[in-house]
């Protein structure tokens, strides 16, 4: 029996937990079952209590205290411990039927899925390579305010592409917190960031000209506007353009249609609806936390 789920990931502060809450609310409003898994051992505040929480297995605070590690080292240790105790996930997810959407909230340290094989190993266990056979889609969030600094935007886009290559599962890339740039960035300009290419940097070149002023070579302004930095950004943008893998959806969690649009892309990526049987009008819906509704 197939299962379906999404991994919500992205840099710290991108709005991952907020998206999880918005997806849960949208699923419930549309009478769909969901199961919420928190895999961030440092997370504390939730709009909806997780059905499965990694802190019931191990917490970042305990690891940092007992092993004298910093936050990043402690987080890696937490996931290494999780990989040694995968029954924690298997026992909770195995009973779920194909009607459930499994929402997995990951921490914001992107090195977990771009530099070291921790999350890729977890994904292999969850998907068809493991016993759970979950059809997974990754939802990678990048804060929309990154479009204001194009070098920062391309660095974030490169991280998204790296995650796509490392995880080898369908990806939906999302520009989150669109409400923060509405009114400050024209809609026509925003659309250009949805399918990023190197011309975004070419158009930005004039904005970075210093007008012939002599700058202190050691100053931040000189370094960030210098030729070497520009060549680095151009190389990154060209790499992204050559692979042509990354495109973005826009997300404003305050708008129900925006959340529904993102969910529809996730459903299509994992072929959720193709596996569903017709539902009778009076069928009960299990929301994953004991709530039932007809």
pLDDT digits (tens, 9 = 90+) for 263-276: 999 999 999 988 76
User: Cα 96 to the chain's mean position, in Å?
Assistant: 23
pLDDT higher than threshold 70 for residue 132: yes
**Would you state the pLDDT for residue 218?**
54
pLDDT higher than threshold 50 for residue 164: yes
For the beta carbon of residue 1, count every other beta carbon within 10 angstroms.
8
> Of 39, 46, 37, 84, whose CA–CA distance to 60 is shortest?
39
Long-range contacts of 68-73 (CB under 8 A, 24+ apart): 71/42, 72/109, 72/111
What is the Cα–Cα distance from 192 to 142, expressed in whole angstroms?
Answer: 15
Q: Classify each residue of 130-159 as buried b or exposed e, where b means 16 or more C-beta atoms within 10 Å of its C-beta.
A: eebebbbbbbbbbbbbbbeebbebbbbbbb
Assess contact for 31 and 164: CB atoms under 8 A. Answer: no
pLDDT band at 217 (very low <50, low <70, confident <90, very high): low
For residues 5-12, average pLDDT: 95
Three-state DSSP class for 34? strand
pLDDT higher than threshold 70 for residue 206: no
- Number of Cα atoms under 13 Å in the Cβ half of residue 265: 18
**Would you state the pLDDT for residue 166?**
92
| Percent of the residues in the chain that have a pLDDT greater than 70, as a whole number | 85
- CA-derived radius of gyration, the chain: 21
pLDDT higher than threshold 90 for residue 1: no
Residues 6+ apart with CB under 8 A from 97: 1, 3, 33
Beta-strand relationship, 171-176 and 34-38: unpaired
Specify the range with the lowest mean pLDDT, choosing from 3-12, 210-219, 257-266. 210-219
Q: Give the residue ranges of DSSP H helices in the chain.
A: 16-29, 60-67, 71-84, 87-93, 111-114, 118-126, 150-167, 187-192, 199-204, 220-225, 227-243, 256-270
The model's pTM: 0.86
**Would you state the pLDDT for residue 220?**
57
pLDDT band at 225 (very low <50, low <70, confident <90, very high): low
Per-range mean pLDDT, top range of 19-23, 106-110, 242-246: 19-23
pLDDT higher than threshold 80 for residue 5: yes
pLDDT higher for 215 or 110?
110
Would you give the DSSP letter of residue 46?
-
**Would you state the pLDDT for residue 49?**
94
What is the Cα–Cα distance from 161 to 262, expressed in whole angstroms?
Answer: 19
**Would you state the pLDDT for residue 112?**
87
**Would you state the pLDDT for residue 292?**
57
For residues 170-193, average pLDDT: 92
pLDDT band at 227 (very low <50, low <70, confident <90, very high): confident
In sign, the C-alpha dihedral spanning 238, 240, 245, 250 is negative
**Would you state the pLDDT for residue 288?**
58
Specify the range with the lowest mean pLDDT, choosing from 12-16, 157-161, 206-210, 290-294. 206-210
**Would you state the pLDDT for residue 84?**
95
For the beta carbon of residue 50, count every other beta carbon within 10 angstroms.
22
Residue that the structure tokens 């193709």 belong to: 274
Residues 6+ apart with CB under 8 A from 262: 19, 23, 139, 172, 174, 249, 251
**Would you state the pLDDT for residue 8?**
97
Q: Classify each residue of 52-87 as buried b or exposed e, where b means 16 or more C-beta atoms within 10 Å of its C-beta.
A: bbbbeebbbeebbeeeebeeeebbbbbbeebeeebe
**Tokens encoding 190:** 């925003």
Q: 176 forms bridges with which residues in the sheet?
A: 143
pLDDT band at 183 (very low <50, low <70, confident <90, very high): confident
């Amino acid at each position: 029996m197939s299962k379906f789920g999404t991994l919500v990931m992205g840099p710290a502060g991108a709005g991952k937990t907020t998206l999880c809450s918005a997806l849960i609310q949208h699923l419930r409003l549309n009478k769909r079952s969901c199961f919420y898994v928190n895999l961030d051992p440092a997370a504390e505040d939730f709009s909806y209590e997780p059905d499965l929480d990694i802190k019931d297995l191990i917490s970042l605070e305990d690891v940092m205290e007992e092993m004298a590690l910093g936050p990043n080292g402690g987080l890696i240790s937490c996931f290494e411990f999780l990989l040694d105790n995968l029954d924690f996930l298997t026992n909770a997810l195995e009973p779920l039927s194909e009607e459930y959407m499994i929402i997995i909230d990951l921490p914001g340290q992107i090195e977990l899925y771009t530099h070291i094989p921790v999350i890729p190993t977890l994904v292999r266990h969850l998907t068809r390579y493991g016993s759970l056979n979950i059809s997974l889609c990754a939802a990678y969030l990048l804060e929309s305010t990154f479009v204001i600094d194009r070098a920062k935007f391309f660095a974030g886009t490169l991280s998204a592409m790296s995650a796509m290559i490392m995880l080898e599962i369908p990806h939906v890339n999302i520009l989150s917190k669109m409400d923060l740039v509405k009114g400050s960035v024209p809609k026509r300009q925003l659309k250009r960031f949805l399918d990023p290419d190197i011309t975004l940097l070419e158009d930005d070149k004039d904005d970075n000209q210093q007008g012939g002023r002599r700058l202190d070579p050691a100053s931040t302004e000189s370094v960030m506007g210098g030729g070497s930095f520009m060549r680095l950004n151009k190389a990154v943008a060209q790499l992204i353009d050559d692979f042509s893998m990354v495109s973005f959806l826009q997300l404003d969690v305050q708008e129900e249609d925006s959340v529904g649009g993102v969910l529809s892309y996730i459903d299509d990526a994992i072929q959720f609806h193709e596996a569903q049987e017709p539902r009778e009008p009076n069928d009960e819906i299990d929301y994953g936390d004991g709530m039932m509704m007809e």
